[in-house]
Chain A
Amino acid sequence: MPDLKMDMTVNGRRVTKPAGPHMRLLDYLRDELGLTGSKEGCGAGECGSCSVFVDGKLMKSCLMPVAKADGAVIETIESLAQNGNLNPLQRAFYKTGASQCGYCIPGMVMAASAALRENPLADAEEIKERLGGNICRCTGYSKIFEAVEIARDVINGTLPATALDAPGAGQSYIGNNVRRLDAPGKVTGALRYAGDMVMPGMLHMQVLRSPHPHALIKSIDTSAAEAMPGVACVITAADVPGVDGFGVFVHDQPVMAKDRVRYVGEAVAAVAAEDLLTARAARDAIKIVYEPLPAVFDPEAAMGDGAPVLHDYAPDNIVKHIPIRKGDVEKGFAEADLIVEQTYSTQPVEHAYLEPEAGLAYVDHDGVVTVVSPSQNITHHRHMLAKIIDKPIHKVRFIMSPVGGGFGGKEDMIFQGMLALAAMKTGRPVRLVFSREESIVSTAKRHPARITCKMGLKNDGRITAVDFRMISDGGAYGMSTEGVMRKAAILSCGPYAVENVKIDTYGIYTNNTPSGAFRTFGAMQAQFATESHLDICAEKLGLDSFEIRRINMMRDGATTHTRQKLGSVSLGRVMEAAEQASGWQAGPPVSRGLARNDLGGPGNRRPCTLGARLRPGSEQLREEVA
């Protein structure tokens, strides 16, 4: 594959460096020109983290073969802040706190630039539309839209330039807006995430993953891969010098599958090579013979007799069972006027941070094995890796790179071990950057749960007993399941004072993608069941939804089901605020007022549509500006 001759203008400079014919414009900008402000979030045109101007039009550089950009004038995020001075849009993003993890922000700033270049008077709806091709996982977009509107007005002169200044911090951080110190690096694209980092002599890693949910590994033949020119090493579980196993609670997961695979997407072998293409070719040349085993995909089936066993230490497939007992539920049910039993289920959820997993490892001049990655738990990872690679703790170092979104999904050490092994084996820096698909296939998800809630109530709405049973699919490895089950159990019955409770949460091994930490850490699934259940009970008792909660809510000085003494409880005030803000109409859930107060008001979202710029008036406005 001969290189392509290129001749383009990038950020005002002529560039003639040749490009590989496989390259996308994004690869060329990042890998050949070192312009890593443009990020890769999906590689499929869905997220906009890679947006750049091509001959004045904003485009997604991951969708553009580099040859298309030959002869073009390219502007990237790096061109916006001249001599390090943020432009008005970047200052507005800084002011409103529009950057959180920051990974989407270069693309977002570019999309906002395009919106205001195309229509300097774009209204809020049109701004939303023009940013429609860019995804942000952290902010909920409000701060971003707010920033674009401020910048628009400053640029048009309807707001003074001082509108971009920070508000006075006051005497205290509490109660005052405080600027994010890291925002300038994010709005300019200067901040380097792990996948943006390079080192001299760096190798590129690719990972071979299991196509089977459950199978024995009969043989691994790496000879063809190792013989390929440009391949520096191939690693498998056999390269682990120490005690192989990691996890947040139980160390049940090997760095790479050992003897058998337990889910589709599990790492089995990895290659480090001089370039990505060689690494991919070598990965595909590794031959593995599998012997498929019966697999189990439903946690209740996995609890049954004769189900396939995933881990020898857990013959019942139970990762963790957390029981809580308080009072006497049978007595509580006997006292009840109404008993309601329902089963609720939730689905797995992907964290979908914009930054796919990435890491860089090297062995430094003192022989310290160093791993740079967006890990949410570097100290724990360091201790685990020391045992895995059989080194004293002072010879293992973890550096936390900027986390381009985590949400719990980067708590597990699922790739750092492979990087460390390859760096040790080759003596060279090794980098691995996950594709979006790889990230979705191989990383932990929110636990899917099946929850049966049985609740006894008096006719006046008081809860007399709760029997709460939650069965969660932990997937193939333990990860954070134990903690998630614990928190789900503690918070299962919500902030309600109940004398008699019986709670059981189970995390179960299956051959599904492992479940792990995710915002709320198990509370969300439990609350979904309990709060849905309360509404159903309110309907049966003819009570208002807020009323049934007020009757049962914990108050100042309450003791929780796990005997934690609460000083103050703000639930009453929270509900009052929610009731007012929502335009609530009192009555049981089945009742409906004459008019809907929850639609069409100033605080409500309008129905989803497009075409703000086509509606009468917008054209006229644009002409007035021109």
Chain B
Amino acid sequence: MLTCETYLTPATLGQALAQWAAAPPGSRLIAGATDTLPWARQGRAGDVYVPALVDVSKVAELQDYEISGGRVRLGANLVMQRFLSDETLRAHLPCMPHCAIWFADDQIREQATLIGNIVNASPAADGTPPVLAMNGTIELARLVGGAVTRRSLAVSDFVTGPGTTLLADDEIVTAVECDCLAGYGGAFEKVGQRRSLVISTVCTACLVKPSADRTSFEDVRLAIGGTGPVPLRLNHIEEFLKNRPVTRDILRQASQMTDGLINSRTRRAYRGDVLSGFIERALEDALADCGVHIPSDSVREAANA
């Protein structure tokens, strides 16, 4: 059970930063809060007393998103369901609807934020691999002499290990910026114990831009989660695929380039097998998503037999 002395709901970023900086040690900053209440239960943190909960979900500056200069700026309060329900986001971030559909369930996605998922820094976070693939940067704010001061970091640098990030004690994450990738095909592969409400054993985010004649890869983005302490971008496979033709053989070659990628504590062999399959399938699904013809499942199964 979570008990708190004070529950604060600042309306502006300035207020939020001031309240957060002044909050007694042990206080927590929340947005969607969907991880906070399950955390304060028997078997995890147990009964937790928190001096203050600073709830940023009503902070005006952290709402919604903006698109400019080929980048999408996603506010810290943007909930996962928006990636499914918002047509503009779906068009510009083609991988995110596929990620979102596998994220928790419809109800939790209405409350849980992408940025909360990144900040929690679970090795199995579903939201982080797509952001890595979209060259995500994270914006952090703090008060310096009463003025809001911001810095930006690559998300790949920001997440440093299981549950750890470069977020300083007095900072609040305000946004994540990603490449606009309209015209790319997107895909997200995930396996866990069941469909909804499950932690990834392995997940893979993929974005593909085909060449003008739709026979080769112009650009590829691949990132994985659940395979080690932090999610990873697979630059070496991306480079291998660029300008290569879209053939089953090339996909298969790419799917075998997984040496050293599995650094999880358990089930390494299984994860290795899944990862190869996911790379191939994610590329196929992303190609299909942007209308590049690929063999149907039955043809693929026959070819694999």
Q: Which residues of A contact B (CB under 8 A)?
A: 1-2, 4, 21-22, 24, 43-46, 48, 51, 54, 57-60, 62-65, 67-68, 70, 111, 114, 118, 129-130, 132-133, 277, 280, 284, 435, 437-438, 441, 608-611, 613-614
**Contacting residues of chain B (85-135) with chain A, CB-CB under 8 angstroms:** 97-98, 101-102, 104-108, 110-111
Separation of A70 and B97 alpha carbons in the complex (Å): 30
CB <8 Å contact, B42 and A64: no
Instruction: List A contacts of B30 (CB < 8 A).
Output: 65
Separation of A247 and B155 alpha carbons in the complex (Å): 57
Closest to A132 in B: B196
Known contacts A22-B1, A129-B196; 18 further A-B pairs (Cβ under 8 A): A1-B3, A21-B3, A21-B7, A48-B105, A51-B107, A57-B110, A58-B106, A59-B107, A62-B37, A63-B108, A64-B111, A65-B2, A111-B106, A129-B106, A133-B108, A284-B47, A609-B195, A613-B101
CB <8 Å contact, B42 and A437: yes
Contact with A along B187-221 (1 / 0, CB 8 A): 00000001111000000000000000000000000
CB <8 Å contact, A45 and B106: no
**Contacting residues of chain B (1-39) with chain A, CB-CB under 8 angstroms:** 1-7, 9, 30, 33-34, 36-38
Instruction: List B contacts of A608 (CB < 8 A).
Output: 194-195
Given A62-B37, A63-B111, A435-B42, answer yes or no on A21-B4 (Cβ-Cβ < 8 Å). Answer: yes
Kindly identify which residue among A2, A48, A614 contacts B107, using a CB–CB cutoff of 8 Å.
A48
Separation of A60 and B53 alpha carbons in the complex (Å): 19
Separation of A65 and B101 alpha carbons in the complex (Å): 25
CB <8 Å contact, A58 and B107: yes
Closest to A65 in B: B33
Q: Which residues of B contact A (CB under 8 A)?
A: 1-7, 9, 30, 33-34, 36-38, 41-43, 47, 53, 55, 57, 81, 84, 97-98, 101-102, 104-108, 110-111, 194-197
| Residue of B36, B41, B196 with highest tally of chain A CB at under 10 A | B196
Given A132-B105, A133-B107, answer yes or no on A67-B55 (Cβ-Cβ < 8 Å). Answer: yes
Instruction: List B contacts of A118 (CB < 8 A).
Output: 106
CB <8 Å contact, B7 and A4: yes
Closest to B2 in A: A22
Given A65-B7, A68-B57, A610-B195, answer yes or no on A44-B38 (Cβ-Cβ < 8 Å). Answer: yes
Given A22-B3, A65-B53, A277-B3, answer yes or no on A610-B105 (Cβ-Cβ < 8 Å). Answer: no
A419, chain B: closest CB distance, angstroms = 21
CB <8 Å contact, A46 and B197: yes
Jot down 5 A-B pairs with beta carbons below 8 A, ordered by A.
A51-B107, A58-B107, A63-B38, A435-B41, A437-B43
Instruction: List A contacts of B7 (CB < 8 A).
Output: 4, 21, 65, 67
Instruction: List A contacts of B43 (CB < 8 A).
Output: 437
Instruction: List A contacts of B107 (CB < 8 A).
Output: 48, 51, 58-60, 111, 114, 133
Kindly identify which residue among A4, A21, A59, A129 contacts B110, using a CB–CB cutoff of 8 Å.
A59
Instruction: List A contacts of B6 (CB < 8 A).
Output: 2, 21
Instruction: List B contacts of A46 (CB < 8 A).
Output: 197
B205, chain A: closest CB distance, angstroms = 14
| Residue of B1, B97, B106 with highest tally of chain A CB at under 10 A | B106
B199, chain A: closest CB distance, angstroms = 12
CB <8 Å contact, B196 and A133: yes
Shortest Cβ-Cβ A-B pairs, 3 listed = A133-B105, A132-B196, A22-B3
Separation of A60 and B35 alpha carbons in the complex (Å): 12
CB <8 Å contact, B4 and A22: yes
Closest to A440 in B: B43
| Residue of B7, B55, B81 with highest tally of chain A CB at under 10 A | B7
